[in-house]
Chains A and B, each alone.
Chain A
Amino acid sequence: MAGPTVNPDLGPIGAAVAHSLPRGASNRRIVAGLLAVMIGSLLFVAAQPRLYKAFCEWTGLYDIDRAEQIAASSIPSRPVTLEFDANSHDNGLRFRPEITSLAARTGEIVHVTYRVENTRDTTVIGQAVPSYGPQHAGGYVKKLDCFCFKQQTFAPHEVREMPVVFVLDKQLPDDVNTVTLSYTFFEVPAGSVTSPAKPAENRT
């Protein structure tokens, strides 16, 4: 009971007592308001995927359907021969494309499948790295999905089929009539498993 005694009749203190009475109710009102803001934010972010798409379509500011745009551009589509190639790098993976060549057209969505078999008795973690022939054709291969985007883990003797989906840009130079897509599977050293793949490559 130490400290200065307080006369409850004193102006500011008395006011404080009066002020403190409805504090519980007032606290609850503030919390309710703040929770409403928080929930509003949550709803706002939950609606983002739709809002974003709607906004992009409405304004035409930013085309999120780039693949369709490539397919629909006014440059005429033309036939191109696609060749597929696969190499593995002394890592026990038997790696080959399901088909070795394909008559395709620019602007078309192409699906191809590669087949990998792990011939070892151990798990192999690998990453496929693409290369292109001719080299400058690489910029016109617009990949939508590829097993080369990430590291792949193969159980002992596992056999797996893996897809590549891409569009050949209609702006492909006229002198290129055959495009070779070649993958080499490299084993990932144990220390750097789940290292960043290189998804950004050839995406633009």
Chain B
Amino acid sequence: MQASQHAGHAGHHEDDSHGHGPTGLMRWITTTNHKDIGTMYLWFSFAMFLVGGAMSLIIRAELLSPGLQYVSPEFYNQMLTLHALIMVFGAIMPAFVGFANWMIPMMIGAPDMAFARMNNWSFWLLPPAAILLTASLFVPGGAAGTGWTLYPPLSIQMGMGMDMAIFAVHILGMSSIMGSINIITTVLNMRTPGMTLMKMPLFCWTWLVTAFLLIASMPILAGAVTMLLTDRHFGTSFFNAAGGGDPVLFQHIFWFFGHPEVYIIALPAFGVVSHVIPAFSRKHLFGYTSMVYAIAAIGLISFFVWAHHMYVTGIPLTGQLYFMYATMLIAIPTGVKVFNWVTTMWRGSLSFETPMLFALGFLVLFTIGGLTGLVLAMTAVDIQLQDTYYVVAHFHYVMVAGALFSAYAGLYYWLPKWTGHMYHEGLGKLHFWLSMIFFNIAFFPQHFLGLAGMPRRIPDYAQQFADFNMISTWGSFGFGFSQLLVLVVVFKAMKGGVKAEARPWDGARGLEWTVPSPAPHHTFEDPPPFDPAEAHG
């Protein structure tokens, strides 16, 4: 294995480039180093974030005022489908896999991921999938315009853009499964001696559960889209009513994958926040054990609530009641987590650097999103709100404010470790406040629109929705363009700035802070001694 241990190469040496191995582009194509791969994941996800973001701005521009202004309804549908697929599979998931690659080996004192070459492969599967998705815009008939849920019968009737989306989903699924196998094996097998599972940093715990969710749920999605493919081209009728199939079956299968997917996105975000809040509260995380059990409980329950996305498909009352109660059950472990984060801050010695601001922004906005989730969990209410902008507002509060804000918290938190320089605190704070304000301008009015009955996925709307839509569109443009600030912050930190110490945050705990900043190319080639004071538990 690549990561075999060279005797004498202890963790702390500056000898970065060994003078062997390819350089230039080939270095990145052939690398098996977890830090290089983590960096590639993060850059890839940021690039995809800009692509998906540009698509969302096209959507919002069209919704600036009633009527059809800039794009055709078909193109609008393609934009909203690709926006979702790219943001979920291209931006948010790879971002957290990037964090996992960079940080998990450093957090547990391992020299690299367990399967370093497979790690390389799981990254390099992503660009072809991204190309398939974006290139599908230019084929006859355009990209898939079904919404990211790919519901038949529409997805059976679309042009070849749909096939490209299906293959992209296959490739992304393979990539995720390989990444997950790697992460689980690394976490289970490569912890430094003395670091028991219950002393492991919480980010590793969240990824352990997430990776299990991925391995169990990605094949479900792959199977569903494969059945779509055979319905489209090989004469089967899994979902085609005329041939004895049932489109509702697709919805069941899709959401059996789709609901765990929500937590695949949310759990690593919880992990990041569980590092940032204690560090800037200068306290240990409150209730570590309950956090671990809450993560496991969320992961488990997420497989048993799927049909709350399907209240209006005609499922019987018994089913509606079961799914309603099961969904509300998730609020308990999630509530435990929010409680623990708040309690961690209680009587802490708080300071509000950018990572902490983003973590707090996450906490506030994710709680709002969770609350609207409870509203939507109630069948009687959901029948009114299904497919309205209330749902759009809800999942952007948990996805953008949940996943993206915590990814930013992690980015600012670990950036000194990656680049060796402190980022520009003023710009970071500006980025946070612009994001926080514009996010709420963009998405809060969508609650009102949804309650008033504005349907989602329609490029036009009735006159009475005009004012809130205009506000939302200006907010989204403000939010979109303020994200470019990250690029400035990261480039500035890469080029120079105040030299970062090994432990730039005085409250930060964990093995990753015991290596110099920037982290040398190879760390922990020998397992470091484990100091319980560095543990989170």
Contact = CB atoms under 8 A, between A and B. Distances in A.
Q: Please indicate whether A and B come from the same complex rather than being unrelated chains.
A: yes
Interface of B: 1, 5, 8-15, 72-74, 77, 114-115, 140-142, 145, 153-154, 157-159, 177, 180-181, 184-185, 188-190, 192-194, 212, 215-220, 222-224, 227, 238, 241-242, 245-246, 248-249, 252-253, 314-316, 318-319, 526-527, 529-530
> Which bucket holds chain A's interface residue count?
35 or more
A40 B215 CA distance: 10
Interface in A25-54: 26-27, 30-31, 34-35, 37-42, 44-46, 48-49, 52
A34 B222 contact: no
- Chain A interface SS verdict (over half): helix
Nearest to A204: B314
Q: Please provide the 7 A-B residue pairs with the shortest distance between their CB atoms, ordered closest to farther.
A: A45-B223, A194-B141, A145-B242, A3-B10, A16-B527, A41-B219, A2-B13
A193 B193 contact: no
Q: Identify which of A12, A19, A35 gathers the most chain B CB atoms within 10 Å of its CB.
A: A12
B74 A62 contact: no
A24 B153 contact: no
A192 B459 CA distance: 15
12 contacts: A5-B10, A12-B530, A13-B527, A20-B5, A23-B190, A27-B114, A30-B184, A38-B218, A38-B219, A41-B217, A191-B74, A192-B73
B74 A196 contact: yes
A23 B5 CA distance: 12
A181 B529 CA distance: 81
Interface in A92-124: none
A196 B219 contact: no
A41 B223 CA distance: 9
B193 A30 contact: no
A44 B181 contact: no
Contacts of B11: 3
A1 B22 CA distance: 22
B234 to A, nearest CB: 14
Contact of B527 (A3, A12, A30, A192): A12
Interface string A139-156: 000001100011100000
Contact of A191 (B1, B72, B314): B72
A3 B316 contact: no
Interface in A140-195: 144-145, 149-151, 165, 191-195
A45 B189 contact: no
A34 B318 CA distance: 34
A23 to B, nearest CB: 6
Contacts of A13: 193, 526-527, 529
Contacts of B159: 193-194
Given A16-B193, A41-B216, A49-B238, 15 more contacts: A1-B8, A3-B11, A12-B193, A20-B527, A24-B1, A27-B115, A34-B185, A35-B181, A37-B212, A38-B216, A45-B223, A49-B227, A49-B245, A52-B252, A149-B157
A199 interface: yes
B12 A4 contact: yes
A13 B253 CA distance: 48
A49 B238 CA distance: 7
A197 interface: yes
A46 B249 CA distance: 12
A185 B133 CA distance: 33
A196 B77 contact: yes
